[in-house]
Structure 1
Amino acid sequence: MADWVHIIIRAFSALVILFVLTRILGKKQISQLTFFEYVIGITLGDLAGVISTDVESNFMHGIIAILVWCLVPFILELLTLKSKTLRMWFEGKGTVLIKDGKVLEDNLKKERYTGDELLEQLRTKSVFRLADVEFAMLESSGDLSVLLKSEMQPLTPKHLGMKLGTEKPTQTVIMDGVIQKEPLAAAGKGMGWLQTELDKLGVTKENVFLGQVDTNGEFTVDLYDDKLQVPQPSERPALLATLKKCEADLELYSLTTNHPDAKKMYQDCSVMMTKVIQDLHTLLRS
């Protein structure tokens, strides 16, 4: 057998084995590399390269080495699930770099972090002023977690006393011009509803690159033909306008009638309609 054929077979076999073992080790191996996992990754890559190209070496010996280097971290990962001490040894622990708005220079030196590197990490979190930070910790994965001071944190509906409905994941019901039946069912919609929405927009599903249904049941599309203008959803603004018209009509009826009971009924209904509009205004105005 020619050497190049031998190398192809060995390389493909090593690739398949590494892929299977990586799936067994889990997604953590590619998302949160600790020092130990970093060393494991480098070693496995080196072993795979050697057994792929060194045709004179024993292929099975290389496979056994790969299995050992995968089995050890897998066992250690199971053990660290039950032992905090082991987790600290093998995964490390976070280091506080900013506390109570003050930079801890000793901890920066301990982690061999410079002021420029700290500012760079803060910028990746969209923080450009050190004075805005209340707390920052360098995680064992190397990522910097940042807590802004209270007055610098963005407002949320809770701060404004607003109650919003539960958000549901947006479902992609059309992709590459093909209807996705499972996401469509997850959105609580049917084929008839989807066809009706496409007819409202004046497009065919074949011309839709992506079509999505959001948590409010609105259907939006991105077309292959970028020059074609798609009308924006108007149901919610129209409903808000209708509710406001009803409120105004109730106010008018209460002012024009001379019957005390009718006047009180219209006023009560107007107050209730005002409360409904206030509750739904954020949802319906967009």
Structure 2
Amino acid sequence: MNETLVVMVRGIIGFFTLLLLTRILGKQQISQLTFFDYILGITIGSIAASLTTDLTTRAFPHWIGLIVWVILGLLLQGITLKWRRGSKFLDGEPTIVIMNGRIMDKALKKMRYRVADLLEELREKGIFDLNEVEYAVLETNGKLSVLKKAANQPITPKDLNLSVPYKGISTELIYDGVVIDENIKAVNRDRAWLEAELKKRYINHPSQVFLALLDPNGQLFIDKYSDNQKNIIDIGDYPGPN
């Protein structure tokens, strides 16, 4: 019973410590995850797990180790932000693996990157023909950026000199049955307008609405709790237990 209590207390301490420290590290751990960032995240998580379950040692050394790793991570982030050469050394540089439609085999060998891996990355981007590719760059986080040849790029309204309506971010007016009055005011509407729009769709009360969004063009999207879908499509292939 005492061990269970100790694990619970140390788990709570480790959880909130890890939450605080990851917030301090910032979103770079997710949005710009390099290989070293990946290893750093695993190590920090491992130390937090040891802090919780390793009852053979005191919690304090684990907690100090956790803080030290986070401080070093912050230090490296500062170096990569302020010092260009340091950034190149720590994070590496993007590498061109296809140039002018030609595979740079020497660059692939230098990075120990297989052609099979390159083809797989291209297929994941919907490219099955290498003749479509003008440039391909392997980024420092391992992702592949591709520039198709001009003849294979999709035609945009700009290419056809067509004007298209502005597409912005929709505003939430109702979320989980609750009306967000601040957002209604922000889009220069009021409750009376919203209730009138709901009645047009035979909705008597906002509590019947799961989500309501208003886009910049004034189009209202409403999703009710009761979808009344008769033939629900299941894309899974597991029929479930008999």
TM (norm. structure 1) is 0.75
Question: Structure 1 residues 221 and 131, CA, compared in 2 at 3 Å: closer, same or farther?
Answer: same
Which whole-Å CA distance do the structure 2 matches of 1:44 and 1:128 have between them? Answer: 39
Question: Structure 1 residues 146 and 184, CA, compared in 2 at 3 Å: closer, same or farther?
Answer: farther
Local SS of the residue matching 2:126 = coil
Unmatched segments (≥5 aa) in structure 2: 231-242
Summarize deviations over 1:60-119 as a string: whole Å, max 9, x none.
111111111000110221222111101111111111111111111122222222222212
Aligned to 1:60: 60
Find the structure with the greater CA-based Rg. 1
Aligned to 2:233: none
Measured on the aligned residues, the alpha-carbon RMSD in Å equals: 1.9
Which whole-Å CA distance do the structure 1 matches of 2:148 and 2:79 have between them? Answer: 35
Aligned to 1:38: 38
CA displacement at 1:178 relative to structure 2: 1.6
Higher normalized helix content (fraction of residues)? 1
Which whole-Å CA distance do the structure 1 matches of 2:147 and 2:182 have between them? Answer: 39
Which whole-Å CA distance do the structure 2 matches of 1:169 and 1:35 have between them? Answer: 33
Unmatched segments (≥5 aa) in structure 1: 230-286
Aligned to 2:214: 213
Aligned to 1:266: none
Q: Does the 8 A contact of 1:96 with 1:104 survive in 2?
A: yes
Aligned to 2:161: 161
Local SS of the residue matching 1:182 = helix
Q: Does the 8 A contact of 2:166 with 2:217 survive in 1?
A: no
Aligned to 2:175: 175
Residue identity (%): 38
Aligned partner letter, 1:226: D
Which whole-Å CA distance do the structure 1 matches of 2:161 and 2:153 have between them? Answer: 16
Aligned partner letter, 1:118: L
Aligned to 1:199: 199
Residue range with higher mean Cα deviation, 127-136 or 220-229: 220-229
* 1:97 and 2:85 correspond: no
Local SS of the residue matching 1:56 = coil
Which whole-Å CA distance do the structure 2 matches of 1:135 and 1:190 have between them? Answer: 51
Task: Count residues with an aligned counterpart.
Answer: 229
Summarize deviations over 1:124-181 as a string: whole Å, max 9, x none.
2222222111111110011111111112111212111123343321112112222122
CA displacement at 1:26 relative to structure 2: 0.2
* 1:117 and 2:117 correspond: yes
Summarize deviations over 1:206-233 as a string: whole Å, max 9, x none.
222211111210112122222279xxxx
Which whole-Å CA distance do the structure 1 matches of 2:61 and 2:229 have between them? Answer: 61
Aligned to 1:278: none
Q: Does the 8 A contact of 1:34 with 1:92 survive in 2?
A: no
Aligned partner letter, 2:210: F
